Amino acid sequence: MAPHKIVLRFTSSTSDQPIIYHLVKDYDLVVNILKAQINPHLEGTLVLDLRGEKYEEGIEYLRNQGISVHPLTQEVVRNNDRCTSCGACTGHCPAGALAMERPSMEVQFDSDKCVVCLQCLKVCPVGAMEVRI
C-alpha cells in the first residue's frame, strides 16, 4: 500500500498526547515522521508518511481526538533553468530523490521519492530547489 503524506495539526490540549503510539499500537500503522514542530502556544504540526491496512480507521481515530488531518500539498520542485547539476544536494537528500546519474554526472530529481524534508533548499548553492504549497 502506497504511503499517504499527511499534515496533522494539534491544539495545545492534544499536543501532549501519545498519538503516534496509538497509531502504531492500536492500528498497526507504519509511521515515518517527516517533520514535527510545537510552537510556544503548544500548538503542534506533524508531517507524516503513513501506511497500513487500518489507515482509514487510524485517520478516524485522529479526527476523534480533535486533530485536523490534511493531505500534504506542499511539494518540492526543481527550477531546471537554475540547476547546474553540480551535485551538492545529492549528499544531503535522505530519500534519494536527488541523485547523480552516472556516467553523465547529471543530477536527477524524482519528486515521487521526495519526503519534503527541505534539506535541499538549504544546501543548493544556486537556489534551484523551491517549495510549492
Partner 1 sequence: MSVERTYAEINARIKAGKAVVLTAEEVIGKVKEQGLTKTAAEVDVVTTGTFGPMCSSGAFLNFGHSSPRMRMTKVSLNNVPAYTGIAAVDAYIGATEVPEDDPANSNHPGEFRYGGGHVIEDLVAGKTVKLKALSYGTDCYPRREIETNITLNDLNEATLFNPRNAYQNYNCAVNASDRVIHTYMGTLKPRFGNANYSTSGQLSPLMKDPNFATIGIGTRIFLGGGIGYVVWNGTQHFPGWLKDQEGNVVGSAGGTLSVLGDLKQMKPQWLRGTRFQGYGATLTVGLGVPIPILNEEILRFAALSDEELHAPVVDYSDAYPNRVGGNLGVVSYAQLKSGKIILDGKEIPTAPLSSYPKAREIAGQLKNWIEKGDFLLGEPVQLLPGPMAGLTGKPLEIK
Chain positions contacting partner 1, by CB under 8 A: 81-82, 84-92, 100, 102-106, 122-123, 125-127
Please spell the DSSP secondary structure of 101-124, one letter per residue. Answer: ETTTTEEEE-GGG-----HHHHH-
Grid cell, residue 71, equals: 493531505
Nearer to partner 1, 65 or 85 (CB): 85
Q: How far is the CB of 91 from partner 1 (least distance, A)?
A: 4
Nearer to partner 1, 42 or 131 (CB): 131
Nearer to partner 1, 8 or 76 (CB): 76
Q: How far is the CB of 88 from partner 1 (least distance, A)?
A: 5
Among 65, 112, 123, 116, CA closest to 89: 123
Question: Cell 519534503 appears where?
Answer: 116
Q: How far is the CB of 43 from partner 1 (least distance, A)?
A: 24
37: number of Cβ within 10 Å: 11
